[in-house]
């Protein structure tokens, strides 16, 4: 409460996330202030984060992982259609929610770094004041360079997440955050079947395209990414 810029970022997160309403997105129900203390109201999600699941069980079989990836494509496509980029997609920001039937579905959380695709100077200033601009392991080359972003940057992050979910490894590896970012900028990613030969070649092609170095070489939308995942599963 003593930092007006932090309060402004929190309010901005609320304003962005309150526009989102999708089963694969954790939106924000309300924003307010009480006694000078700002607060957010969010849904309660009964489940565990994807990062926790990976820690407990390791890589996920494609038969389980691919449906979750398709669901994340849908949630992020909804956000993109509303003009919102996530910019910090990673396993810690995905919840696997348990339904009454016992089945699970994936939910994208934490739009704290999200911003509108077209933002005014005041919004650019708010996002620029954030100390953390993303998570190195999942940042696209253009995000590392501080270039303008669009949906294809989130596609890159989801591709890296999918690679890790399926193999337990990252496609770009480094011993430090700086080495990891350098690998994103200059290195060639590992191929999916280099790590896990039992995975199919069509799935390898889909993941490889999602993490292509140049945005133009990736899928152009989350819908395209989901369609390709559908086709790889035939």
Q: Report, as residue numbers or ranges, the catalytic residues.
A: 88
- 101 Cβ contact partners less than 8 Å away, ≥ 6 residues apart: none
Residue 213 burial by Cβ neighbours in a 10 Å radius (0-12, 13-18, 19+): middle
Helices 222-232 and 151-167: angle between axes, nearest 10 degrees: 30
Residue with tokens 């994103």: 184
C-alpha to C-alpha distance for 95 and 75, rounded to whole angstroms:
12
Closest of 212, 205, 210 to residue 73, by C-alpha: 210
Which residues pair with residue 33 across a beta bridge? 38
Residue with tokens 């060639």: 188
**How many beta carbons lie within 10 A of that of residue 102, not counting itself?**
6
Closest of 110, 109, 128, 131 to residue 119, by C-alpha: 128
């Amino acid at each position: 409460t003593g930092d007006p810029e932090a309060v402004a970022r929190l309010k901005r997160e609320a304003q962005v996330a309150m526009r989102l309403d999708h089963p694969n997105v954790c939106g924000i129900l309300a924003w307010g202030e009480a006694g000078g203390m700002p607060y957010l109201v969010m849904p309660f999600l009964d489940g565990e984060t994807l990062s926790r699941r990976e820690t407990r069980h390791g890589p996920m079989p494609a038969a389980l992982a691919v449906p979750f990836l398709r669901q994340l494509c849908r949630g992020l496509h909804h956000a993109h259609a509303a003009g919102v980029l996530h910019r910090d997609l990673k396993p810690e920001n995905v919840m696997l929610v348990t339904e009454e039937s016992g089945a699970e579905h994936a939910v994208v959380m934490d739009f704290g770094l999200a911003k509108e695709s077209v933002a005014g100077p005041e919004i650019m200033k708010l996002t620029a004041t954030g100390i953390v601009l993303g998570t190195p392991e999942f940042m696209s080359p253009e995000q590392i360079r501080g270039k303008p972003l669009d949906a294809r940057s989130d596609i890159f992050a989801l591709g890296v997440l999918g690679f890790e979910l399926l193999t337990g490894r990252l496609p770009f590896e480094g011993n430090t955050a700086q080495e990891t970012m350098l690998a994103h900028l200059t290195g060639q990613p590992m191929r999916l079947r280099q790590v896990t030969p039992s995975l199919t070649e069509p799935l390898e092609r889909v993941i490889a395209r999602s993490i292509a170095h140049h945005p133009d070489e990736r899928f152009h939308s989350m819908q395209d990414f989901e369609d390709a995942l559908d086709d790889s599963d035939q």
